[in-house]
Amino acid sequence: MDPIEAALADLESQNPPNYSATARKYNVGRSTLSRRHRGLTVSREAYIENISILTQEQENNLISYIKRLTAMSLPPTNKMVENFVHDLTGHWVHKNFVTEWWQKHSDVLGSSYLTPIDLNRTKADNNFLYSRYFSLVEKKIAEYDIQPHNIYNMDEKGFLIGVLNKLKRIFCKEDYDVGKLKGAGQDGNRDWITLLASICADGSYLPPALIYQGESGDVQNSWLQDYEPSSQEAFFTASPTGWTNDNLGFEWLTKVFDRHTKAKARHGRDWRLLIVDGHGSHVNMTFINWAVAHQIAVLVFPPHSTHTLQPLDVGVFRPLSGYYTQEVTQYLHWTQGLVAITKKDFFRFFWVAFNKAFTEKNISHAWERTGLHPFAPEVILNPRPKKRKNRVPTPPPKEEPMRPLSAKDTRKIRELLDATTSRTSREGKQLRSTVWELADAKNLLKQEVSGLKIALKAEKRKRTRKKGLFEELREVDEGNCLWLSPNKVQLARDLQAKREQEALQEKLQKEEDKRLKALAKEQEKLAVEQRKREREAAKIQREIQRDAEREAKRLAREEALYDREVKKQLKKYSRSTRSKGKKKSTAIAAITESLLDVHEADSPSEVDGPPSRPGRARKLPAHFKDYIIEID
């Protein structure tokens, strides 16, 4: 313990405190001891903590949080750390604070530019699966007695022939500061060329195969103007996209790989191992059937793991890209950017870069870094930390930080609150309320986050697409890799036959559903037409009914009018006959004759005129029959 701390502890047991004797006993200054004991001054550590933006506990929590994010492959940026500090303290820090802060903790924290990597790849870095993968590889290599000179890794790499990688350069600082220098110039030609490359565990490699981008699918002579068949061995082909496909992958297997590796395998009597990624041009039934039939076992890496397990990715392709960029950059320097880079220039740059990258040293180092040869799984499972520049770390605090209590440790929290605060004081009540509120909020947030994670996993399962043919053969016990041995190939064939049968059944079912749907549609169409005809017939019937009703109403109106006219005439003649003294019978006869004449004049003739709409001839109403007198 520090002498001043020991003296302070001794003073706590004295009543009254004797500063002089205690100072002499622990060999410390009396005035310093007195001021410290009376609270007028504090220790250097406490002073630094008081004037610092973050307390020691906050710094420890922030470091722990950064470690947790790093484990998730989500290390924060400087700006994110600034936001974290603001969330913890409520204050914004100056622009250099984060740099100064992590350098203060350089024993546990670092800062560097990191290359982005897909999260699927980081999730695939699973020691459990990797250990199963290495166990399977070791078992199968021993089972098939495969020697290192018969173990190969094959993969493809694409080139945008005029696009360069990032390089460190020397430039005029003034132009850079004022913004005149935007970046390093490049040709920018984005024609795509794919390299099919393969390396052997004994440090050798196979001749490269290049797939040029050409609409016709043919290789042009001008593209190979720098190729010397007598001293250079390479293979060339073309595709509309410049990418590999199933046919080109099979051609490479039969015409490049088999021809150049058969002799080392005692002309095909020994098993060869070809390790590939899960690309469709490498893993299809045609490729696998031919390989197994010719004593070639195919191993497929676990998904999203080639950045860690594949020798070509780990130790060869990156220097190849760097050397290619150097060659193109040198060419641009010579030509001052006045001459465009085309496909006819590619092979010249590529061949130099290929020979620099595909060296025995690089190839052997690539196999070693992936733990395959010499066989050493611990290289991947227990990697050594990278050596860093020695820095003088900040001395750790004299007392190790205590583990913070969990929100579930309610009993311990209550005991500490009882021991340090008063239940009756206003400050004590406020502190207790705050502590319990924060603890409850933390528990609730944990439950909420847990529920959201479950919901997110369920949603991802819904979106999971159907697995490919060989994907279904992956097993967790084998590290999710695929060893396509004859037995596994037979399983793949059976699975393919099953899928084809299911696809046929699905196709037949779809055709039947389509036929039934068309039949139902036709029946519905006929039913619609029948309902239409019925509606039209009903419409005609309604029109006939309306016409008949209108005619009946018209006749009724005419009859009523006729009746009124008769009554009117009767009254008229009745008055006239009374005044003239004519006989009643004579008057009636005259009225009838007059009305009949009027009626015949107004109405069409019964003989000549057309019948009424209902088809009946017009007749004198029955109630006039009593007034008709037969006159001879």
Q: Are 321 and 165 in contact (CB under 8 A)?
A: yes
Contacts of 24 (CB under 8 A, 6+ apart): none
Provide the 8-state DSSP code for 205: B
Q: Which of 189, 313, 190, 196 is nearest to 243 (CA)?
A: 196
Structure token pair of residue 63: 């470091």
> What are the extents of the domains in the chain?
3-104, 124-381, 411-463, 485-627
Closest Cα to residue 153, out of 298, 357, 320? Answer: 298
Contact 244, 156 (CB under 8 A): yes
What are the residues whose beta carbons fall under 8 Å from the beta carbon of 19, sequence distance 6 or more?
11, 30, 33, 34, 37
Name which of 134, 136, 205, 206 is nearest 374 in CA terms: 134
Asked if residue 271 lies in contact with residue 297, where contact means CB atoms within 8 angstroms, the answer is yes
Cα 323 from Cα 355, distance rounded (Å):
10
Instruction: Give the strand pairing for 296-300 and 272-276.
Output: parallel
Q: Which two tokens stand for residue 336?
A: 């001052």
Strands of 272-276's sheet in order across:
235-239, 209-213, 192-200, 151-160, 272-276, 296-300, 482-484
Instruction: Please tell me the distance from the alpha carbon of residue 118 to that of residue 115, in angstroms, as a whole number.
Output: 10
- What's the confidence (pLDDT) of residue 168? 63
Strands 296-300 and 482-484: antiparallel
pLDDT of residue 607: 43
Q: Quote the radius of gyration of the chain (alpha carbons, Å).
A: 51
Residue 229, both tokens: 């068949």
Amino acid at 198: S
Does domain 124-381 match CATH 3.30.420.10? yes
Q: How many CB atoms are located within 10 Å of the residue 45 CB?
A: 13
Q: What φ, ψ does residue 484 adopt, rounded to 5°?
A: -90, 75
Backbone angles phi, psi at 341, to 5 degrees: -90, 125
Q: What is the DSSP letter of 375?
A: B
- Encoded tokens for 422: 């008063």
pLDDT at 599: 52
Q: What values do phi and psi take at 606, rounded to 5?
A: -65, -30
481, exposed or middle or buried, with CB in 10 Å at 0-12, 13-18, 19+?
A: buried
Beta-carbon contacts of 351 under 8 Å, excluding residues fewer than 6 positions away, are 226, 232, 234
The closest alpha carbon to 132, from 384, 495, 307, 380, belongs to: 380
Which of 145, 273, 151 minimizes the C-alpha distance to 204? 151
The one-letter code for the residue type at 20 is: S
In 173-295, the DSSP E strands lie at 192-200, 209-213, 235-239, 272-276
What is the number of helices (H) and of strands (E) in the chain? 23, 7
Contact 45, 61 (CB under 8 A): no
**Cα separation of 43 and 396, whole Å?**
15
Residue written as tokens 């020798």?
A: 311
Q: For the chain, which ranges sit under pLDDT 70? A: 1, 45-51, 115-125, 164-171, 176, 180-188, 280-282, 337, 385-410, 443-444, 447, 460-471, 475-479, 577-632
CA distance 59 to 304: 35
Output the CA torsion 465→468→472→477 (10° steps).
-90
The per-residue pLDDT for 439 is: 73
* Structure confidence at residue 606 (pLDDT): 44
Q: Is 495 left (phi over 0), alpha (psi -120 to 50) or beta?
A: alpha
Report how far residue 346's alpha carbon sits from residue 358's, in angstroms, rounded to the nearest whole number.
17
Cβ atoms within 10 Å of 356's Cβ, excluding its own: 16
In degrees and rounded to multiples of 5, residue 411 shows phi and psi of: -65, -45
Tell if the pTM clears 0.95, that is, is over it.
Answer: no
**Distance (Å, whole) CA 262 – CA 265:** 5
Q: Which residues contact 354 (CB under 8 A, 6 or more apart)?
A: 208, 320
CB 209, CB 256: distance < 8 Å: yes
Contact 193, 343 (CB under 8 A): yes
Sign of the torsion formed by the C-alpha atoms of 405, 410, 415 and 420: positive
Q: 13: exposed, middle or buried (C-beta count within 10 Å: 0-12, 13-18, 19+)?
A: exposed
Q: What is the pLDDT of residue 451?
A: 77
In 3D space, the residue among 512, 398, 525, 282 whose CA is nearest the CA of residue 48 turns out to be 398
